[in-house]
Amino acid sequence: MKPIDYVPAINAYYQGLGYPEYDWTINSDAPFTPLTKPLGECRVSMLTSGGISHTSRPPFEPTAKNNLRVDAVDPCAAICDFDVNDAYYDTRDARVDINVVFPIERLRELAAEGVVGSVAERLWSGFMGRTYNRTAVIEEAAPALVRELGKDEVDLMIMVPA
């Protein structure tokens, strides 16, 4: 099955609703920081943008725009203690089994087996919804996350958009 062309589909959808064309970021190169340790020694964290919140926190607003909220997530949390609120993807399977978008159990297992060195003190959930204010992401919210990852001595960050 051919991958879906999301860019024209999204453009057509929002233009149909009367929005101007989205000014997509198109990059031609990428930063690159090599891993400095074998995977089995890496402390690994994970970020989901799937509107996933622990039940001790308020839910994410499902139709969020320019929402810079980023929650720290306890990697030892029970998988039934999460809410999923995100209007931008089909969340039905995530509500049955959070691991389909945020494989917290699978990551714990790999750490227990020594495939990864350890799971970081905190995982992350945020940056959900539609982003128009890229400057705020690039200049404030993402650097703030970087500082926290530094405190947790994260060696590798898994990023899973939804």
Residue written as token pair 């001595």: 153
SS3 117: coil
- Residue 112 found at the interface with other proteins (CB under 8 A): no
Q: What single-letter amino acid sits at 80?
A: C
Alpha-carbon separation of residue 144 from 60, 136, 149 (angstroms): 19, 11, 9
Cβ proximity to other proteins: between 20 and 32 the closer is 32
Q: Which of 73, 116, 119, 123 is close enough to bind other proteins by CB under 8 A?
A: 116
Cβ 57 to other proteins shortest distance, Å: 11
Among positions 36-55, residues that touch other proteins (CB under 8 A) are 38-39, 44, 47, 49-50
- Residue 114 found at the interface with other proteins (CB under 8 A): no
Q: Which of 95, 112, 114, 132 is close enough to bind other proteins by CB under 8 A?
A: 95
Question: What are the residue ranges of helices labelled H in the chain?
Answer: 6-16, 92-96, 104-113, 134-136, 142-151
- Residue 18 found at the interface with other proteins (CB under 8 A): no
The residue count for binding other proteins (CB under 8 A) is 79
Cβ proximity to other proteins: between 81 and 97 the closer is 97
- Residue 68 found at the interface with other proteins (CB under 8 A): no
Q: 97: which residues sit within 8 A by CB, 6+ positions away? A: 79
